[in-house]
């Protein structure tokens, strides 16, 4: 009996502590919009032509949704997903004999995100995610083709409350997609991306 009362008292103290209340401010369901700056690197083989290209940086947008759970008074564990609202250039080449382009469409991620409370209104977080999308090709003399691809990502970020329900976040992540081959059987490719983003979110 005394042991159960002691456990209950400790649990009540933790739940009522200021730190726990602060990390709880980041918990629950949230949605957000982000502006993304993406740089790509693609290795591709088209027939006998080998290409190793750094794509042009592109600016786009994405949306996210997540749910966070306060695991301790300082640690928040979240799961979430993002979806890119634009095409992402992966490769673009032009010559006197033709051109070739790769574009990633419908890119999305599903991730887990452990976070640590570094001040009463700011979290630092890490991210491990599953990434997927559809790579589309346009090349002179070849029919347009597309291929679903997937890979993994790791990232780091900061999230800061600016009001009870609004937050700002800044994040950098590295995405590595698996090697793939288009259905034309002559074009192989492997892409990776570095993404920097800033966003505004709303916590319910």
CA distances from 105 to 35, 87, 92, 196 (A): 16, 5, 15, 18
For residue 151, pLDDT beyond 80: yes
Query: DSSP string spanning 11-34?
Result: HHHHHHSHHHHHHHTT-EEEEEEE
Show the CA angle centred on residue 44, arms to residues 43 and 49, nearest 5°.
Answer: 125
Q: Which CATH number covers residue 156? A: 2.40.160.20
Lowest mean pLDDT among 16-30, 34-48, 149-163: 16-30
Quick one: pLDDT band at residue 63, thresholds 50, 70, 90?
very high
Burial class (CB in 10 A: 0-12, 13-18, 19+), 63: middle
Tally of domains within the chain: 1
Lowest mean pLDDT among 43-52, 109-118, 142-151, 181-190: 43-52
pLDDT above 70 coverage of the chain, percent: 75
Tell me what pLDDT residue 47 has. 61
> Cβ contacts of residue 188 below 8 Å, gap of 6+?
44, 45, 179, 180, 181, 182
DSSP secondary-structure letter at 134?
A: E
CA distances from 152 to 66, 81, 111, 167, 176 (A): 18, 13, 9, 26, 6
Average pLDDT for 168-193: 85
Range 172-175, long-range pairs (CB < 8 A, 24+ positions) = 172/196, 172/197, 173/127, 173/129, 173/197, 175/131, 175/151
- Per the structure, the complete domain to which residue 110 belongs is given by 2-203
Average pLDDT for 146-162: 95
168 strand-pairing partners: 160, 200
Quick one: pLDDT band at residue 10, thresholds 50, 70, 90?
very low
Tell me what pLDDT residue 22 has. 79
Tell me what pLDDT residue 9 has. 45
Is residue 74 classed as helix, strand or coil in its secondary structure? coil
For residue 138, pLDDT beyond 80: no
Tell me what pLDDT residue 21 has. 60
pTM for this predicted structure: 0.80
């Amino acid at each position: 009996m005394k042991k159960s009362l002691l456990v209950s008292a400790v649990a009540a103290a933790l739940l009522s502590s200021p730190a726990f209340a602060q990390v709880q401010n980041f918990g629950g369901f949230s949605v957000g919009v982000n502006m993304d700056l993406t740089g790509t690197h693609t290795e591709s083989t088209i027939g006998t032509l080998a290409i190793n290209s750094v794509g042009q940086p592109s600016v786009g947008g994405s949306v996210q949704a997540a749910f966070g759970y306060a695991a301790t008074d300082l640690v928040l564990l979240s799961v979430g997903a993002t979806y890119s609202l634009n095409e992402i250039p992966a490769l673009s080449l032009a010559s006197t004999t033709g051109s070739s382009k790769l574009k990633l469409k419908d890119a999305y991620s599903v991730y887990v995100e452990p976070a640590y409370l570094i001040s009463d209104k700011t979290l630092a977080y890490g991210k491990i995610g599953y990434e997927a999308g559809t790579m589309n090709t346009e090349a002179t003399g070849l029919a347009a083709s597309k291929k679903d691809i997937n890979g993994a990502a790791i990232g780091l970020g900061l999230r800061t409350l600016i009001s009870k329900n609004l937050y700002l976040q800044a994040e950098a992540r590295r995405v590595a997609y698996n090697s793939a081959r288009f259905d034309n059987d002559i074009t192989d490719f492997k892409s990776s991306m570095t993404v920097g983003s800033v966003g505004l979110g709303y916590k319910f």
